[in-house]
Structure 1
């Protein structure tokens, strides 16, 4: 559709007697193509859409040569084009095309190709291609990829004399001649695709790890705070419906790394816990989890193994501190002790709820010989008790409390 002073999208409208031409039908197709690309550009970020087939992952070949294998997958470029590979694709690196040492980029580019040509023998004016193939190519580039034209799948820094390309031993720090996947863009996908029962299982496991780490924080293990916060962050992402197989392995890499740091902290600063058999098993489980992540098999089987081993690891962590006294405990509830009246002077006597039979005050011993019971008419009359020139407010029904907590009414 024309971009000059475009007022909107024009959709073809059929009616009785409408004589269509090839232009009408091509315009109708162009309408849907433009709308789909607009949707991709505005509502999805460009990049590899995780979760389909092999995620366009680039691997070194087992034969150990200068070639890479791109797994099937789906991506969106900056123009909104759909880029899809249905089968694994092999791309050879021809060193004669590059001036080494140099970084080589493995990219995916969209292209269209007219196919299914037909010509009618009866009238050669009627001929043309019946289909347009929308496809993409895996190519090697010497320039930094432009997301508007291509999607980066990997990059490799090739040294002089390179004989083979390898998968990175440490994906976070690839070395020369190793496949670097750190710069691959992730395409936008709204919401989690994790099944509800696996989502619930993940939530329970994160809560279990968090509870165990909290027990270590109460015993003075500083690194356990990082485990707690890593679980808190993962739970927030889970509650925001953003966790699934596209990113859960990256999330757990952080959690497992913090668990390893916690184990190191315990070994150095808490020998009473470190020497336990259960904690030795905990360290072993952490290394098993690191090995699972290092396989880079980000699929459902790996996810289920991750859940199983991590749950076992969390159980062992809690058992390792069982019986250890916590350094940080909840404060016990303090009950206010009844206040005892101070009878150093007569003001102290006034605060006593009941008079004592005898008391020493001001150097003298005072003995109780009689008592007026207020609000008892018989006692008041017996002692000829009266209140003069004052409002008789003491007879109102009020609850009064002495300093020691005694209530009178």
Structure 2
């Protein structure tokens, strides 16, 4: 047998590696340090990000601080592993994990920055939505109300104003998926935005049939009002000048209405409905017959008394309305004294008047109050005041 010194170099190397007493091993310090890093591995989940999109930057900052502290600690400990131990597979595996930890944390930090920008964009979008939706509150509220049980009466001019106000909703709706896109279900205004954007997108579909129906109903109601006036005349009941004018001058009345209705339908991109004012025209056609019936029911019934001064004042007052007094009398023999407590304030006297307005073949019966202020010392002084109000009520009557 040959001495060991004469063995081939390769065989010698194998024998050295196979000998337990000659195998490479971590130093005690190196092994302890790597074990301490192993503890941190159990505390860090690199597959699960410690925050969710939309979390506040404060919340994310707290979570990230813990990870940053751990990374700093394991990097410092890895640096303490002796150089002689750094070729050990255990060290290499630990160093690889620390590198993954660091790169993952950098990725999360970048995502945190993106989240911060998204939060700022969301806040800006919420503020923009809040401002614009509040500025359009009347229009949005009207569309919402129409979808529900809106029951208020509207004049054509008011309907047009509602339509014009709602026109701004088209631009608002276009922003719902752009400027307001960040206002989502997690936002304070999220649920409100869903409804507001729906109403803004569909405002024409909602308002056009509603306003059309309301406009036609309003015109029909005006026709019913004319018909009601003529019924009162036929029944011998009182009416007012404006009511009478609508029935006896339907052409002028319709001309005063047409402009506001045409403006509304033009704005809505629709023609004026055929027969829109037919109820007014058909009702007004009964004017002459109603006046004839009214004259048969009402005639002048004179009062039992006469006061020339009061009669003169009443005649002058009615003349300003182009009504000529045919007959006049007073209904009670003396003035009616009105008081505040025990102190007289004024006195009144009623007159019954048969008058004829310019251009009319029939007459009217008025009941008109005249007053005079108390001057003290048992005296009443000053001009007589004839109370015609905004317009006095009267009965259509025979001139006999």
More helix by share: 2
Structure having the higher Rg: 2
Query: Does the TM-score normalized on the shorter chain lie above 0.5?
Result: no
TM-score normalised over the length of structure 2: 0.23
